[in-house]
Amino acid sequence: MGLLWGSFLGVVVYRTVNEGSPLSGRSRCDKCKKKLSWWQNIPLISFLLLRGKCFYCKKPIDWSYPLIESITAVLFVWWFVVGRSFFLLAGSPWSIVQPVFWLVVGMALLVVFLTDLKYGVISDGVNLFLFSWVLFYRLILVGSGQMMMADLLNAVLSAIVLTGFFWCLWWFTKGKGFGFGDVKFAPSIGLLLGWPRTLVGVMAGFIIGSVVGILLILLGKKKFGQTIPFGPFLVVGIVVALLWGNDLWNWYMGMLQ
Ligand SMILES: [Zn+2]
């Protein structure tokens, strides 16, 4: 299942930036545009069978396809073995709704991660999808009494503050150091994490981003002053905050005392 969904997400990444709807038409080679037959279109297996080259034009198949297929497969296995059991405490129907919500969030974050890594953009489509998905879910939770109004306000305030902060970064760097796609990504982050996990997630993103940036400069892959996309680091920061956000916050506050 993970490989199949990963294959779909690979198409989403490609088609949100290039032409076409992710739901229309058969898969084609990115390079020669020939339609792929079924055996050239099996997630991961076809990539291995074809040894990473298109059957027709022999040009290399983009690395992002096997990557997103493998990561989605790992996400699904993790979700099935570990992630799903987080939610088994909640009663029906939340024992189904909650895990599905988080699985879809995981897949949307993967699309953000890879689109920004590959093309240096976070598309409006995925931003809008993620924001509506999280807002809709939060409203349902509050409406059904599963989430307190105060927690929703906390999440909304986190979203507003983070969007303002990213907007300032975008404005001060004149859009060169910080993209507007990140600004549009901010509402979803705040709504997803709330306070203080939003702060933990963004700080983790900045720290991991700087470490990787310095490494890339030291390895001669990037020059000082060149940009690297920030979205992938934000996604990693969000995952860190979701898994260990409260622990990290308590640990940090404990150090200050
Ligand atoms: Zn081809």
Ligand 1 mean position, distance from CA 214 (Å): 36
Give the residue from 100, 119, 138 where a domain finishes: 119
Query: Is 155 found in the same domain as 105?
Result: no
Residue 110 lies in a domain: yes
Interval 220-238: pLDDT, tens = 887 777 778 889 999 999 9
Token pair of 84, please? 């799903």
Within-domain flag for 8:
yes
Determine the Cα–Cα distance for residues 257 and 250; give it in Å rounded to an integer: 11
CA distances from 4 to 65, 104, 150, 154 (A): 11, 14, 39, 36
Residue 143 resides in a domain: no
Cβ within 8 Å of residue 235, ≥6 positions away: 109, 110, 112, 113, 205
Cβ 190 vs Cβ 198: under 8 Å: yes
Task: For residue 24, name the pLDDT band (cuts at 50, 70, 90).
Answer: low
Between the CA of 244 and the centroid of ligand 1 the distance, in Å, is 43
Compute, in angstroms, the gap from residue 2 CA to the centroid of ligand 1: 25
Of the pLDDT bands very low, low, confident and very high (cuts 50, 70, 90), residue 23 is low
Are residues 115 and 170 both part of a single domain?
Answer: no
User: How crowded is residue 142: how many other Cβ atoms within 10 Å of its Cβ?
Assistant: 17
47-56, 87-96, 231-240, range with the lowest pLDDT: 87-96
Q: Which residues surround ligand 1, an ion (CB under 5 A)?
A: 29, 31-32, 54, 56-57
Shared domain check, 98 and 170: no
State the alpha helices, DSSP H only, in 82-230.
94-119, 124-143, 149-172, 180-193, 197-218
Centre of ligand 1 from the C-alpha of residue 221, in Å = 29
Q: Count of domains in the chain? A: 2
Structural domain harbouring 169: 151-257
For residues 7 and 101, state if they share a domain: yes
Q: Give the count of alpha carbons within 13 A of 253, CB side only.
A: 10
How close is the Cα of 54 to the center of ligand 1, in Å?
Answer: 5
- Last residue of a domain, which of 97, 119, 141? 119
Query: In the numeric block, which tokens belong to residue 192?
Result: 């997803």
Residue 194 lies in a domain: yes
Q: Let me know if residue 144 belongs to a domain.
A: no
91 CA distance to ligand 1 centroid (A)? 50
Q: Are residues 115 and 6 in the same domain?
A: yes
CA 34 to ligand 1 center in whole angstroms? 6
